[in-house]
Amino acid sequence: MATDYISTRGDAPALGFSDAMLAGLARDGGLYVPREWPHFSAGDIRAMRGLSYSEIAYRVLSPFVGDEIAPATLRRIIEESYATFRHPAVCPLVQTGPNEFILELFHGPTLAFKDVAMQLLARLMDHVLAERGERVTIVGATSGDTGGAAIEAFAGTERADVFILFPEGRVSPVQQRQMTTSGAPNVHALAVKGNFDDCQALLKDMFNDHAFRDGVSLSGVNSINWARVMAQIVYYFTAALSLGGPDRAISFTVPTGNFGDIFAGYAAKRMGLPVDQLVIATNDNDILARTLATGEYATRGVVPTTSPSMDIQVSSNFERLLYFASGGNVDEIRRYMQSLKQSGSFTVEEKTLEAIRAEFAAGRSDMAETAGTIGSVLEESGYLLDPHTATGVKVARGLEASSAPMVVLSTAHPAKFPQAVKDASGVEPPLPAWLGDLMERKESFTVVPSDLKLLQDHISRHARAAR
């Protein structure tokens, strides 16, 4: 039985998979979540052993998609999506300690975990839009990786124009080039004078302006889009299966910013995957670690770090967790989100906080600790971490010892952050040969102020879907 999707704020129509995917943000400002979690028994999971990544993806994702896409079509779309990855296992595991494993999620076209979902999302959207004869305007906010992945996945498509808002001067040079050198006529890179939180707030304001939203047929590819999170559930299953799951529980530590990746781990657990610990790893922008410790979700200014993709204070998908942890109490969620908008903070109810603490642990790694971890892991095992992954390793290593294998999600290739990696280890990781000329490609982008009206005008003028 397929599920439909409901808003975390309870005041938007429930939608089927395709509509929820094209909608992105719900019309009441909330995030779509599945009304029911599909369930996989231990037997169902065992039956996935030895299957390819694509086949496991097909089994895990089918119940979320339901009968809206024909099974053979869904299979083909999944296979084509993961054929773009340059490792036969798609998301391989590498052992770096007696009980420590790195889940490499960076073998896709832009060297970050975003490709895992974006390659699939672009194909799913294109399929649905082609069937309906429709066109959309995609606006995305990025701290560096979502933007490049979206541009790579949607470049050249006839059915979508893509506008990516990135914080000017706060992404790595490699990340910037991945966004500004595509040359595709449907791609628009916009350098916003602000930080990632400003970009994401502008994006949400565009969705909440219904006249603008409908006027340009707005759609989103950030993890506000359920299909993004859905695709990320798969690698929790494949990693667990490689390490003896479902017959033993596995722990995961996830470098976290917008909370989409770790929410996918929570979803996997809700679907029946035995998970021991789910650990949130933050950099100096540690709002989530502080919230778990104190119950106060209180934003502070964003601090630029050597793991820039995690320089986030307003963690979008935390709303999805609050929804489930509160038992689906939409009034509670609306209260939190109103307070966040008005005062930049809210206090999590005791019961909700307890429910969150029962599922998650959290820790932070500051820049010096992250650099130290890159150096020490290289020395111990010859493995070169990127700064985001190193944040995860540092936090995982600070936990009490456990017999469950610990999988740290490696969210980016070290070559995306060569300066930070070189400063920490003395080794400057080269880009793979197929991206070797990236830094010589011609850039094209527009610098824009952090101003909703000006941006909306810019997008309306350039979007082919604008009416």
Ligand X SMILES: Cc1ncc(COP(=O)(O)O)c(C=O)c1O
Ligand Y SMILES: N[C@@H](CCOP(=O)(O)O)C(=O)O
CA–CA separation, 345 and 369 (whole Å): 28
User: How many residues are given for the chain?
Assistant: 467
**Using CB under 6 A, which of the segments 41-49, 142-150, 235-243, 397-405 binds ligand Y?**
142-150
CB of 174 to ligand X, least distance (A): 12
CA–CA separation, 285 and 169 (whole Å): 18
Residue written as token pair 């069937």: 131
Annotation marks residue 204 as catalytic: no
Q: Which amino acid is at 186?
A: N
Q: What is the DSSP string of 331-359?
A: HHHHHHHHHHHHHSEEE--HHHHHHHHHH
What are 144's two structure tokens?
């560096």
Residue 391 interaction partner, one of ligand Y, ligand X, none, beta carbon < 5-8 Å per kind: none
Binding site for ligand X (CB under 6 A): 112, 143, 145, 223, 255-261, 309-310, 388, 411-412
Letters for 299-338 (x = contact with ligand Y by CB under 6 A, - = none) are ----------x------x----------------------
Task: Please tell me the count of residues contacting ligand Y according to CB under 6 A.
Answer: 13
Residue whose CB is less far from ligand Y, 264 or 378: 264
**Residue 300 C-beta-side C-alpha neighbours within 13 Å:** 10
Q: What share of the chain is helix, strand, coil (3-state, %, to 5)?
A: 50, 15, 35
b/e per residue, 277-302, with b = 16+ CB within 10 A? bbbbbbbbbbbbbbbbeebebebeeb
Residue whose CB is less far from ligand X, 145 or 286: 145
Q: Considering 114, 269, 394, 416, which one is annotated as catalytic?
A: 114
Contact between 29 and ligand Y per CB under 6 A: no
252 backbone dihedrals φ, ψ, rounded to 5°: -135, 135
Residue whose CB is less far from ligand X, 257 or 375: 257
Residue 362 interaction partner, one of ligand X, ligand Y, none, beta carbon < 5-8 Å per kind: none
Q: Which member of 24, 144, 255, 387 binds ligand Y (CB under 6 A)?
A: 144
Residue 142 interaction partner, one of ligand Y, ligand X, none, beta carbon < 5-8 Å per kind: ligand Y
Are 309 and 257 spatial neighbours (Cβ–Cβ below 8 Å)?
yes
Are 291 and 175 spatial neighbours (Cβ–Cβ below 8 Å)?
no
CB of 274 to ligand Y, least distance (A): 26
Residue 110 interaction partner, one of ligand X, ligand Y, none, beta carbon < 5-8 Å per kind: none
Contact between 265 and ligand Y per CB under 6 A: no
Residue whose CB is less far from ligand X, 240 or 287: 287
Residue 256 interaction partner, one of ligand X, ligand Y, none, beta carbon < 5-8 Å per kind: ligand X
Q: What is the Cα Rg of the chain in Å?
A: 20
Q: Which member of 92, 109, 257, 392 binds ligand Y (CB under 6 A)?
A: 257
CB of 388 to ligand X, least distance (A): 4
Residue 161 interaction partner, one of ligand Y, ligand X, none, beta carbon < 5-8 Å per kind: none
CB of 184 to ligand X, least distance (A): 22
Roughly how many angstroms between the first and final C-alpha of the chain, as a whole number?
37
Alpha helices in 282-417 (DSSP H): 287-294, 318-325, 330-343, 350-359, 367-381, 387-397
Q: Which residues bind ligand Y (CB under 6 A)?
A: 142-147, 222-223, 257-258, 260, 309, 316
Looking at the annotation, which residues are catalytic?
114
